[in-house]
Structure 1
Amino acid sequence: MGLIERILGVVFGSGRNVIAETAEVFRVNAENEAGRGQAMQSAALAQFSSEFKVVRRGCFDRLMDALNRIPRPAMALGTLGLFVAAMVDPIWFAARMTGIALVPDPLWWLLAAIVSFYFGARHQAKGQDFQRDLAATMASVPQVVQTVRAVEALREDAPEAGALPGPVGEMPGDNPALRDWQAARSTV
């Protein structure tokens, strides 16, 4: 017994696993790798969510947001209004379009630049809001996973469907009226 104990002591060392330590030189320890990956992902999510903290907005910010929402619906409704005006009063519409035809090209370019910058900035702001919401959602993933596991554990602890209390000799879901109706339908 002493010889086998010495051989095992050489192989496994004093409480260490020499084989596992040697194998880790050539192959990554999967458990430690998963732990490092989880720690890195948690740190990245924490950093990402700290960048996009929800800030309480004041009255001025809410007013500016409301004003920023006006141009797109105004342009869409204005364009539809022009179509209606063209059908209702073609002469009035022709006079207005003649006036628009007199607008010089540099003014049209300026309008195009303003509209492009407005919609570009709006698109960027909405994209950042989306990223902030996504970061908040991703930060809540561990809590959701824990809740799902708790619900699944409740399902495992629930009694089987046949073990539910009911009248003697009657299975849950066994409906005499339904059974009679099915029997009547099968004879027809």
Structure 2
Amino acid sequence: MGLIGKILDVGKAVERVGRSAENITEVFVPNKTEKQKQEYQKYRASLDQYAQEFALAPLGFFNSFVNGLNRLPRPMLAFGTMGLFVFAMVDPSAFTLRMVGLNQVPEPLWWLLGAIVSFYFGAQEMHHFRGRMVQAPQNLSSMTTFLHASYDTSDDPNYNAALEDWRRLQK
């Protein structure tokens, strides 16, 4: 078969006709693979831009000191609570006296303390939640999966993004 094709030079002619047909069809219908590659490149460029915007500057002494202070409340609360149990066993009368004093604190002040502690830990959690960014895939197989997951369905009238998200969560 290869010999007859070489003699008649049919293979090159068929290949040229195929390329021409492909180029003509791409005038009317865009190549989805190329479109997805371009969208991925745009997405990657925007992620790189955001990464440059949010890159951390070198930390000085003051920033390191404040970061250290921000890490203190959780261990202090945990060790302080355990310390109260030890204090209650070592000196029960002094512990009782201090607990009576805490009982005299008005209820609105307890609500204020609760709100401050809740907002502090809520802000910490939100900070860590926002810090997680979706990493774009680096190898070809995961890039293909990524591109299929980000398939543009804006021209499909039956596409329902919320329903697709729900189905994806069900898997």
Deviations 1:132-165 (A, max 9, x none): xx47xx47x64xx49xxxxxxxxxxxxxxxxxxx
- Letter of the structure 2 residue corresponding to residue 22 of structure 1: T
1:83 aligns with 2:65: no
Post-superposition offset of 1:20: 4.9
Q: How many angstroms does 1:40 deviate by?
A: 1.9
Sequence identity (%): 41
SS of 2:55's partner is: coil
**Residue 34 of structure 2: which of 32, 35, 47 is its match?**
32
Residue number among 99, 103, 106 corresponding to 2:105 in the alignment: 103
RMSD: 3.1
Flag the 1:57–1:124 CA change in 2: closer, same or farther, 3 A. farther
Task: Quote the offset at 1:42 in angstroms.
Answer: 1.8
Q: How many residues align?
A: 126
Deviation of 1:97 (Å): 0.9
Q: Please, what TM-score do these two structures have when normalized by structure 1? A: 0.55
Q: Does 1:43 pair with 2:45?
A: yes
The runs of 4+ residues in structure 1 deviating greater than 4 Å are none
Alignment of structure 1 residues 139-158 onto 2, 5 Å:
142=138, 145=139
116 and 127 in structure 1: CA distance in 2 versus 1, 3 angstrom threshold: same
Where does structure 1 lack aligned partners over 5 or more consecutive residues?
Answer: 1-7, 147-188
What 5-or-longer segments of structure 2 have no aligned partner?
A: 1-12, 141-171
- Residue 24 of structure 2 is aligned to residue 21 of structure 1: yes
- Helix, strand or coil at the partner of 1:17: helix
The answer for the alignment partner of 1:74 in structure 2 is 76
Q: How far off its partner does 1:49 sit?
A: 1.0
Query: What is the CA deviation profile of residues 78-125 of structure 1, one whole-angstrom value per residue up to 9, with x for unaligned ones?
Result: 111112222333222221111110001121122112212222232233
For residues 113 and 87 of structure 2, the distance between their equivalents in structure 1, rounded to whole angstroms, comes to 23
> Could you state the TM-score of these two structures normalised by the residue count of structure 2?
0.59
